[in-house]
Amino acid sequence: MDLFKRLTGLAAAAVLLVFASSPLRADSLQEAVNGSPAQIGENFAIGQRVFKANCAGCHEGSTGRAPQPTILRNMRPATIYRALTDGVMKPMAAGLSENERVAVSEYLAMRKLTAEGANARPFTCDARRAGFDRRAVPSQSGWGFDPANTHSVSVKAAGITRADLGKLKLKWAFGFADSNRARSQPSLAGGAIFTGSHNGDVIALDRETGCERWRYQARAEVRTGVVIEPWKAGDAKADPLAFFGDLAGNVYAVRAFSGELVWSVRADNHSAALITATPSLHDGTLFVAVSSLEENSAADPAYQCCTFRGSVLALDAKTGKEKWRTWMVGEPQRRQEEAGHIEYGPSGVAVWNTPAIDAKRGLIYFATGDNYSQPATELSDAIIALDMATGKIKWAHQAIEGDAWNVGCYVGAVTCPEDAGPDFDFGAGVTLARNAKGRDLVLAGQKAGIAYAFDADTGEQVWQRRVGRGGLAGGILFGIAAQNGRLFAPVSDFGEIADKTHPAMPGMNAISIDTGELLWTKPMENTCKPELKDCYPGISAAITSTPDFVIAGSDDGRLRAYAAETGEVLLDMDLLRSFETVNGVAAKGGSMSGGAAPIVDGGQIIVASGYGHAMKMPGNVLLVFGKE
């Protein structure tokens, strides 16, 4: 097969991810790529030739350690160029000319190589703003805001009530250079906002002004949030660490007050491994969920599918040393060869979401994705409890059996498993909550459009409630929230239809934690203008709740807040516009999807806007709102 066709197919598959959208139009395959041959110019043909002759042998295999093209698509051209000139790929690129190194970097990243910082003006903090306030300890405990992943905040912590929502004013905006998506959930500590970016930068920004305190360059896009190690308020000697992962499968620890690297490790040596979930930190241990893009590589009929195995591992937070690892699937075996196509299995069962911590029971809880190839296994599409000290499985509950699927099924490739499943991953992080009778429940939301409650001790299913029709890009995708007896479940329901007996139900829902009864539902109207490409109603992003309201960014580029008791829309703000930024980068809002929930804290609402992926509208801005 022509290499361009193969890589274009892989890039389109990467756009689909696990959350594939509506069938691609004939003219949209190339549009799905981050960039185009026309934008890269004559270097496209040069880069294609160089890759085919020098790189494809290692980077297109399913069993090696060299990152696959789907992973390289998530790197900036400057990162690839540095690897070829001064990094790990320097010996392999020794025979390439300067122009060839530039060309292959642009070809793989599908973007032009520009001088770093060329799109931005320096906005470094002065001495008055550069220091960190050691009295301002982290206001949230990781991605879930608390160990239980409730994604809820108190009225006092929020500093914003229902009455304040109409008084919000944009305080400042920060633009991410060389980016078309903003998928890292902001974290707050020391008077700073910590966030990752599409271009691989992890940045600490002064919370009041947006000036830059430090910047660290990761090897690939940082989609996770940044977890800040807690410290005692006012401790003058505090030197906390900050943890995050990238889309090349690396996990990092840097000093929170300087950005200095302390350690980095590769979470899995598989060539398609990546980190999408923010790690969880507890008592000196970092719990890391490992996912992959191999499911997308199977769109190439020549790909030998599949060998990735999802896992969760525990790392020593101070050193990065592995304490234990629990695999979600057994060792893949060569199953058959037919007409030159080799198949491996079992595989898959990636973990896309952040583990919840149950210190009382000594457990962590998380949910898993589907198998990529047959045979389907018992831990796919499941909720799992692990002993946090040993990694031993305490219990597991599989919601749907037999779900073996990959993007080859979407494009009709031979790599599609026989008896392919519906692709009903659990992408959303699970939540630990207590019902009115004092029973602890693990709450979960699935792409099937169903919310569940399981007994925290046994994994027994207590109830389930359908709130969406489900599908490849439907149902509950990236996050739920729980507070005051209510589970809030956002629904996307755009794209492929899994259950044609149910209508599309995009919007917000509140469910009784006690009974699973639907308390209210607020359908979302289609407000997308005809000229807006890739605009759809629905909520696929993680959400945040307060006792007064639940707030969510949506696929249509709007920020909405719903009354917690009734679902009444209290705020409806259009972010699909350009913003003047403090750092001078041209920036705009877009679809809000993925694991980045709006942050409500100390009288501010902090929102990352822009997805630019999976047929969603691009954007590259961080917005900070406050009360007038």
Looking at 386, 421, 456, which one is the last position of a domain?
Answer: 421
The answer to whether residues 451 and 400 belong to one domain is no
The answer to whether residues 355 and 301 belong to one domain is yes
Determine contact, residues 227/278, Cβ cutoff 8 Å: yes
Establish if 388 belongs to a structural domain.
yes
Residue 29 is encoded by which pair of tokens? 């395959």
**Burial (Cβ within 10 Å: 0-12, 13-18, ≥19) of residue 3:** middle
Residues 142-198 pLDDT 10s = 999 999 999 999 999 999 999 999 999 999 999 999 888 999 999 999 999 999 999
The answer to whether residues 99 and 168 belong to one domain is no
Please tell me the distance from the alpha carbon of residue 451 to that of residue 470, in angstroms, as a whole number. 11
Which pTM was predicted?
0.89
Establish if 194 belongs to a structural domain.
no
Please tell me the distance from the alpha carbon of residue 70 to that of residue 13, in angstroms, as a whole number. 8
Beta-carbon contacts of 559 under 8 Å, excluding residues fewer than 6 positions away, are: 551, 552, 553, 571, 572, 573, 575, 592, 598, 605, 607
Establish if 128 belongs to a structural domain.
no
What CATH number is attached to the domain comprising 165? 2.40.128.630
Establish if 492 belongs to a structural domain.
yes
The answer to whether residues 487 and 570 belong to one domain is yes
Longest Cα–Cα distance of the chain, Å, equals 70
Residue 12's pLDDT is what?
38
Strand, helix or coil for residue 166: helix
Residues 320-361 pLDDT 10s = 999 999 999 999 999 877 667 889 999 999 999 999 999 999
Residue 506 is encoded by which pair of tokens? 């995009």
Residue 33's pLDDT is what?
32
Please tell me the distance from the alpha carbon of residue 628 to that of residue 624, in angstroms, as a whole number. 13
Please spell the DSSP secondary structure of 385-423, one letter per residue.
EEETTT--EEEEEESSS--B--HHHHHT-TTSPTT----
Establish if 131 belongs to a structural domain.
no
The answer to whether residues 525 and 411 belong to one domain is no
Please tell me the distance from the alpha carbon of residue 211 to that of residue 198, in angstroms, as a whole number. 19
Strand, helix or coil for residue 175: strand
Enumerate residue ranges in the chain where pLDDT < 70. 1-36, 38-39, 57-58, 60-66, 70-71, 73-74, 86-92, 94, 114-121, 338-339, 495-500
The answer to whether residues 58 and 172 belong to one domain is no
SS3 per-residue string spanning 320-354? CCEEEEEECCCCCEEEEEECCEEEEECCECCCCCC
The answer to whether residues 284 and 311 belong to one domain is yes
Looking at 404, 421, 438, which one is the last position of a domain?
Answer: 421
> What Cα–Cα distance (Å) separates residue 598 from each residue in 205, 476, 573?
17, 17, 13
Half-sphere exposure of 542 (CA within 13 A, CB side): 37
Residue 21's pLDDT is what?
27
What CATH number is attached to the domain comprising 289? 2.40.10.480
Determine contact, residues 601/157, Cβ cutoff 8 Å: yes
The answer to whether residues 443 and 572 belong to one domain is yes
Looking at 405, 421, 437, which one is the last position of a domain?
Answer: 421
Please tell me the distance from the alpha carbon of residue 44 to that of residue 95, in angstroms, as a whole number. 19
The answer to whether residues 439 and 488 belong to one domain is yes
The answer to whether residues 394 and 434 belong to one domain is no
Residue type for 560, please? R
Establish if 383 belongs to a structural domain.
yes
Please tell me the distance from the alpha carbon of residue 158 to that of residue 612, in angstroms, as a whole number. 29
Residue in 249, 248, 244, 275 with CA at minimum distance from that of residue 259: 244
* Nearest-5° Cα angle at 168, 162 to 172: 145
Residue in 450, 406, 409, 410 with CA at minimum distance from that of residue 428: 450
The answer to whether residues 319 and 354 belong to one domain is yes
The answer to whether residues 485 and 389 belong to one domain is no
Establish if 134 belongs to a structural domain.
no
Count: domains in the chain: 3
Please tell me the distance from the alpha carbon of residue 579 to that of residue 575, in angstroms, as a whole number. 9
Kind of pairing, strands 192-195 and 273-274? unpaired
Phi/psi of residue 314, nearest 5 degrees: -110, 125
Establish if 489 belongs to a structural domain.
yes
Which domain does 479 fall in, by range?
159-182+428-628
**Burial (Cβ within 10 Å: 0-12, 13-18, ≥19) of residue 529:** exposed
Which residues partner with 236 through β-bridges?
A: none
Residue 499's pLDDT is what?
58
Residue type for 412, please? G
